[in-house]
Structure 1
Amino acid sequence: MANSLWSDFLSMTTPLAQAETVFQHCWDHWQPLAKRPDLQPELKALSALRRRLRARLFSIAVFGLVNRGKSAVVNALVGEARLEVGPLNGVTQKPQSLLWRPGPGIPWQVRLIDTPGLNEVNGEAREQLAWEVARAADLILFVIAGDLTQLEYQALLELRTLHKPLLLVLNKCDLYSEAELQAIREQISRHLGWVSPQEILTVSACPKPQKVRTHWPDGRVTLDWERPAPQIAALQSQIVEILRTEAESLLALNGLKRLERLQTQLWQKQWQYHARHLEQWGTACALGKGVAVGLAPLGLDLLLAPLLDSLWVLGLGMRLRLPWGSLRRALEDLGRPLLLNGMLLLLAEGLGTWLGGSWGNSLLGGVVAGASLYRLGSLTPPLLSRWVSEGFGLGAVLRDLVGSKELAAKV
């Protein structure tokens, strides 16, 4: 029934509305722990993600090696020379962002983020910043200026693992003839295998100056250097199409995937914070279960054992503040270990009765019952961690978004 209601909710609301609902539930859930110092980084990141969703802020990272014209591409898109460009490597020392208005009919705020080049000399820290921007972005523009280098090829393979839409932008196309451009596109397509030559967008963000002859009324003829207008229309129209058709789903998907990572980090910190208490509590519960099962009448002990195991898991989840969705899926996965515990208990009681009568039945059954709960303690944390994304409906919304054919084709 609950799954049916959740499916109805997914079908009646937009991806952003679904994401905002999940974020709100998650925010409300963790607020009682807002003063914990160890959780501050994750809770601050959660707050920033909520604000970004509410602001409808779509982030585009411009990524690539040095001297590929990334800053020039950003300038050409916004229509102004806002970022410094130059012939030297490493002009962009840190990520820089600009708000861009791509045109009427786009309901999103669009932020273009220029990143440092990946192959700067002594630029490891700046390269790490560039990767952080790419991981957080909703769309990635990978800028090249010719055939792929080995480093560019490796970077593209790693970017593909982020499962984000990626546009391959061949800049400085004014330096090549049309035949040369076609050859470069075909060569890149053969190298990559997942992009066709037609999908590689050719632009000239900062064309080289050209000599212009001017004839004056007095008969003078002068030659001046002028820089042609940027050739950026193909890239601009492709971005606008994505903004019109897929921006909402991409915003929601990217936000929820980052929320999933935050949830995992919060779970790990919760486990570390309570580790000593949980170990002591688990030992006490194992002893208590052993005594309770040992003293219980025959037959009742077989019902009491799985009940105590389930209550222990529930108590563990409540102590760690895991949402009900995560606990429910973990309990479903624990069905087989719980059944095995019951079979071992039944076998132990039979063996105890054969060896020592009712006294042997109680003793051996109690020992096995306590040991089985102690063993369950080693199985439960990985299962809870595995299903942490099911909390607040996060897993269901992510599956719904990733399962859509249109979005799957992009990511």
Structure 2
Amino acid sequence: MTASSPTSTTERCLSLLQTWRSQLQLNRREQTVLAGSLRSLDLQLDRLSNRNLRVAVFGRVGVGKSSLVNALIGQELLATDVAHGCTRQQQALPWAISISGLNTIELVDTPGIDEVAAAARARLAARVALQSDLVLLVLDADISRVELDALETLMNSGKPVLPVLNRSDCCPPEQLASLRQSISQRIKERCQRNHAARIPQPIAVSAAPRKAIQRSDGRIRSERQPAVVSPLSASVIHLLQEQGQALLALNALRQAERLQQQLELGRLERRRQDAQGLIGRYAALKATGVAANPLVLIDLAGGMACDTALVVQLCKLYELPMGGPAARRLMQRLSGHNALLGGVQLGLQLALAGVRQLLLIAAPFSGGLSLGPAAPVAVAQAALAVHTTRRTGRLTARWLVDQRGRGRRGNPAPTTLMRRLVHSDTNMQRLLAEWPQPPIRPRRDGILP
């Protein structure tokens, strides 16, 4: 398989996402609820179009994030102070490095993650992950639980993360290697727990080193020394040269996936009650017919007709037309399920019907006493009919939700677009293999609460 060039893949990704975005059919309520996600996606598509990549500098308060940004840029543009918490909001500055295929690279300084409550920290980490293409997680000691929690949020967003150990000049050289190893081990344990890919070992830097100098009058003073950030700068430049455009495209796809999931979940919630009521009505109709009719074959034929009508109505509810490949795949999937249930149902129905027939035949000889057990048999038959109908309805609804997540014909969903792009581009394949991937969330079936 030959790999497509990064430029062609990026342009193709942009074209496909713009088409998908323009064909989204949203009502007024959806436009209001998803306004923030739509705005974020539009900004990312604009950055993808202009080849503007963002690198977020992320970490606890006081670890030297602003100093690191200044050191990488080579200018004292961000305020730094010994007092913690100088950065109160995100600040983006251009990084004057030349990367083929990228027009601009921005370094984004972010507030400290430990100045807010746990829930707010998670929201901040998620927002940083959403709005950046690469994250530098800045540490100044062994990684803490707060930092691991933030890293987990970033990994759950599928965001590439480079750990950076700042103030390495404060650590004796003989201890620096063991400190980096300890950080890597703790990250590895968290990564394994989340089934994520390997995170690189932290890169040691000194954004604002100081050295004790004895003056001529004998006093000792601390003086600022040149920053040592070249290992980090070289690593980031190498990464962006190899995968910069793919990172931009991947972030756009992930944002579109997130928007699609929010949209489908909202529609699913609104259809949940209607689907429950629909399945309940058909289950009651089927149960009534089975309980009232003494002929097994008619029961089975009527039950199949009832289930087929239920499938048709659910397809209308979930706006998936009954026709074409989608309908054939649904019926193929239901055929095995119905064959199993039908076999069990046939056996039980024959047994229960036989018992009921014997009880009815014996009624003249028992003075009508044998009719008493016939009612529980009919109830058991009805309960079986209800169970099979509900199972069919839930399986159908689950499948329909999955099909809606794939997008409409001619406008495939972002997940499908990503699979196509990854299949045709080895650079995207390598990117997805090297960096953490979002965990697979269990899909709700749209029926059960």
Assess same fold via TM > 0.5.
Answer: yes
- Tell me which amino acid in the other structure corresponds to 1:241: H
For the structure 1 residues 86 and 325, does the alpha-carbon distance in structure 2 shift closer, same or farther, using more than 3 Å as the test? farther
Query: Which residue number in structure 2 is paired with residue 27 of structure 1?
Result: 21
Pairs within 5 Å for 1:307-386: 307-318=308-319, 334-343=334-343, 346-347=346-347, 350=350, 372-385=388-401
* Aligned-pair CA distance for 1:408: 0.9
Q: 1:206 aligns with which of 181, 205, 208?
A: 208
Query: Which residue number in structure 2 is paired with residue 41 of structure 1?
Result: 33
For the structure 1 residues 227 and 248, does the alpha-carbon distance in structure 2 shift closer, same or farther, using more than 3 Å as the test? same
For the structure 1 residues 149 and 318, does the alpha-carbon distance in structure 2 shift closer, same or farther, using more than 3 Å as the test? closer
Mapped partners of 2:5, 2:305: distance in 1: 42
Mapped partners of 1:65, 1:44: distance in 2: 26
Mapped partners of 2:121, 2:303: distance in 1: 60
Mapped partners of 1:352, 1:302: distance in 2: 16
What whole-Å deviation, never above 9, does each CA across 1:275-310 have from its counterpart, x for those lacking one? 444444444555677899989x96965874564343
- Tell me which amino acid in the other structure corresponds to 2:38: L
Pairs within 5 Å for 1:155-234: 155-157=150-152, 159-193=154-188, 199-208=201-210, 227-234=224-231
Query: Which residue number in structure 1 is paired with residue 444 of structure 2?
Result: none
Q: Does the residue aligned with 2:113 lie in a helix, a strand or coil?
A: coil
Q: 2:124 aligns with which of 117, 122, 130?
A: 130
Is 2:257 the counterpart of 1:260?
A: yes
Q: 1:69 aligns with which of 58, 64, 70?
A: 64
For the structure 1 residues 115 and 364, does the alpha-carbon distance in structure 2 shift closer, same or farther, using more than 3 Å as the test? same
Mapped partners of 2:250, 2:88: distance in 1: 30
Mapped partners of 2:325, 2:82: distance in 1: 55
* Aligned-pair CA distance for 1:141: 0.7
Query: Which residue number in structure 1 is paired with residue 107 of structure 2?
Result: 112
Q: Does the residue aligned with 1:373 lie in a helix, a strand or coil?
A: helix
Mapped partners of 1:17, 1:325: distance in 2: 30
For the structure 1 residues 55 and 163, does the alpha-carbon distance in structure 2 shift closer, same or farther, using more than 3 Å as the test? closer
- Contact 1:94/1:126, CA 8 A, preserved across alignment: no
For the structure 1 residues 160 and 282, does the alpha-carbon distance in structure 2 shift closer, same or farther, using more than 3 Å as the test? closer
- Contact 2:66/2:109, CA 8 A, preserved across alignment: yes
- Tell me which amino acid in the other structure corresponds to 1:72: S
Mapped partners of 2:343, 2:382: distance in 1: 14
For the structure 1 residues 396 and 14, does the alpha-carbon distance in structure 2 shift closer, same or farther, using more than 3 Å as the test? farther
What whole-Å deviation, never above 9, does each CA across 1:221-270 have from its counterpart, x for those lacking one? xx998644322222122112222222233333333333333323222221
Query: Which residue number in structure 1 is paired with residue 75 of structure 2?
Result: 80
Mapped partners of 2:414, 2:285: distance in 1: 36
Mapped partners of 1:12, 1:160: distance in 2: 24
What whole-Å deviation, never above 9, does each CA across 1:144-164 have from its counterpart, x for those lacking one? 123334544554455444443
For the structure 1 residues 329 and 49, does the alpha-carbon distance in structure 2 shift closer, same or farther, using more than 3 Å as the test? farther
Q: Does the residue aligned with 2:114 lie in a helix, a strand or coil?
A: coil
* Aligned-pair CA distance for 1:171: 1.2
Moved more, 21-30 or 41-50: 21-30
Q: Does the residue aligned with 1:249 lie in a helix, a strand or coil?
A: helix
- Tell me which amino acid in the other structure corresponds to 1:97: A
* Aligned-pair CA distance for 1:12: 11
For the structure 1 residues 382 and 301, does the alpha-carbon distance in structure 2 shift closer, same or farther, using more than 3 Å as the test? closer
Instruction: Provide the TM-score with structure 2 as the length reference.
Output: 0.67
Query: Which residue number in structure 1 is paired with residue 414 of structure 2?
Result: 394
Sequence identity (%): 25
Q: Does the residue aligned with 1:264 lie in a helix, a strand or coil?
A: helix
For the structure 1 residues 192 and 198, does the alpha-carbon distance in structure 2 shift closer, same or farther, using more than 3 Å as the test? closer
- Tell me which amino acid in the other structure corresponds to 2:34: E
- Tell me which amino acid in the other structure corresponds to 1:311: V
Is 2:433 the counterpart of 1:408?
A: yes
Q: Does the residue aligned with 1:167 lie in a helix, a strand or coil?
A: strand
- Contact 1:173/1:181, CA 8 A, preserved across alignment: yes
Aligned residues: 386
- Contact 1:115/1:133, CA 8 A, preserved across alignment: no
| Relative contact order, higher structure (CA 8 A, sep 6+) | 2
What whole-Å deviation, never above 9, does each CA across 1:323-360 have from its counterpart, x for those lacking one? x9998877665454333444356457756875569xxx
Q: Does the residue aligned with 1:246 lie in a helix, a strand or coil?
A: helix
Mapped partners of 2:263, 2:311: distance in 1: 23
For the structure 1 residues 89 and 327, does the alpha-carbon distance in structure 2 shift closer, same or farther, using more than 3 Å as the test? farther
Q: Does the residue aligned with 1:247 lie in a helix, a strand or coil?
A: helix
Q: Does the residue aligned with 2:269 lie in a helix, a strand or coil?
A: helix
Mapped partners of 1:11, 1:162: distance in 2: 26
- Contact 1:94/1:129, CA 8 A, preserved across alignment: no
Query: Which residue number in structure 2 is paired with residue 3 of structure 1?
Result: none
Mapped partners of 2:73, 2:403: distance in 1: 43
Identify unmatched segments of 5+ residues in structure 2.
192-197, 359-378, 437-449
Is 2:241 the counterpart of 1:244?
A: yes
- Tell me which amino acid in the other structure corresponds to 1:308: A
* Aligned-pair CA distance for 1:109: 3.7
* Aligned-pair CA distance for 1:197: 12
Q: Does the residue aligned with 2:93 lie in a helix, a strand or coil?
A: strand
